[in-house]
């Protein structure tokens, strides 16, 4: 569910300018936020409020490297990161990077949760409702804060220097062609707190690789792209037509995997996307998006059969 949290974080952090990074479409006109911008650390609170991956139904075709287990010991987390940093496969590097990203997020989560608990209006009502509909908590509880504090302590096995190495691990995973690495690396380079300016040629290559993965109907990539809107969609290199097609394909794929799952996920995807809403598609554009969605669903079905 951290992918869902990423969409909530995109709103909470606000859009980050892409600098000189090449994009697939012109930058859209600025959109006034629906509410005042929240402090950056509140983004991590949205992730904790969402239902955990462990509570969701098992999906047989989901990659095993998607998320950090909730009850993983500090020793096991440390082992995974050391393996990714010193030897190991591209997949090991991706697991290590996500472990460090998770722990970096958790370092801010309790502070953000306290803020959201005491000022619940920091998160728009439709986002809170969507989280609740997904099985998460509309209001932050003391139990949730306690869990976040426990996870924060568990992650103290990593010092700041190690937490800062997720970028090199993502590069290693991408260079080694680990599944999902292109999206993770691209999002990392364009994160609100990314240091320095990424190579425009690298950004363009990552954007192309992400679109190619989406074209094959990869559900995780489709969800990340479906969550994007406004400047975030621009930074990922997708047009409004593509985003609509990715969203519709993702919803249909999820409903075919588990009846009702896509419809439920659509609520929070749409709630987050509305924070940076853009002009609705024309009838012609919507037909193009629908055709793209059909193509992607067929690609996913073919891959699943093979």
Rounded Cα gap, residues 296 and 95, in angstroms = 27
pLDDT mean over 48-77: 54
Spans of all domains in the chain: 2-215
CA-wise closest residue to 25 among 188, 215, 230: 230
State residue 305's pLDDT score: 86
**If you write DSSP's letter for every residue of 107-154 in order, what string do you get?**
TTHHHHHHHHHH-GGGS-HHHHHHHHHTTS-SS--HHHHHHHHHHHHH
Q: Which residue has the higher pLDDT, 292 or 231?
A: 292
**Strand intervals (E) in 27-113:** none
Q: Which residues contact 50 (CB under 8 A, 6 or more apart)?
A: 1, 4, 5, 8, 131, 134, 136, 268
- On whether the CB atoms of residues 41 and 112 are closer than 8 A, the answer is yes
Q: What residues have CB less than 8 Å from 196, skipping those under 6 apart?
A: none
Confidence at residue 8, expressed as pLDDT on a 0 to 100 scale: 42
Q: What is the DSSP letter of 64?
A: T
pLDDT, one tens digit per residue, over 84-143 is 999 999 999 999 999 999 999 888 888 888 887 888 777 767 666 666 665 666 667 888
Q: What is the pTM of this model?
A: 0.74
């Amino acid at each position: 569910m951290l992918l869902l949290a990423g969409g909530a974080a995109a709103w909470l952090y606000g859009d980050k300018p892409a600098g000189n990074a090449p994009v697939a479409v012109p930058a859209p006109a600025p959109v006034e936020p629906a509410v005042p911008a929240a402090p950056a650390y509140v983004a991590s609170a949205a992730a904790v409020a969402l239902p955990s991956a462990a509570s969701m139904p098992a999906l047989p075709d989901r990659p095993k490297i998607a998320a950090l287990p909730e009850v993983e010991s500090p020793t096991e987390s440390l082992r995974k990161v050391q393996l990714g940093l010193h030897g190991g496969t591209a997949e090991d590097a991706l697991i290590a990077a996500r472990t460090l990203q998770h722990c970096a997020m958790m370092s801010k989560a309790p502070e953000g949760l306290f803020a959201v608990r005491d000022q619940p209006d920091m998160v728009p009502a439709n986002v809170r409702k969507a989280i609740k509909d997904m099985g998460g908590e509309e209001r932050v509880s003391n139990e949730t804060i306690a869990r976040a504090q426990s996870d924060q302590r568990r992650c103290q096995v990593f010092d700041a220097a190690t937490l800062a190495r997720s970028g090199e691990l993502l590069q290693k995973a991408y260079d080694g062609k680990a599944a999902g690495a292109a999206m993770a690396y691209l999002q990392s380079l364009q994160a609100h707190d990314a240091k320095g300016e990424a190579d425009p040629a690298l950004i363009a290559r990552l954007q192309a690789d992400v679109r190619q993965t989406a074209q094959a109907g990869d559900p995780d990539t489709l969800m990340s792209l479906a969550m994007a809107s406004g400047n975030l969609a621009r930074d990922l290199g997708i047009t409004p037509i593509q985003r609509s097609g990715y969203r519709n394909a993702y919803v249909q794929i999820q409903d075919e995997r588990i009846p009702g799952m896509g419809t439920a996920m659509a609520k929070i995807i749409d709630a987050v996307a509305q924070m940076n809403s853009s002009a609705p598609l024309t009838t012609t554009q919507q037909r193009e998006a629908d055709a793209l969605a059909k193509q992607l669903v067929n690609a996913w079905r073919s891959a699943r059969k093979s």
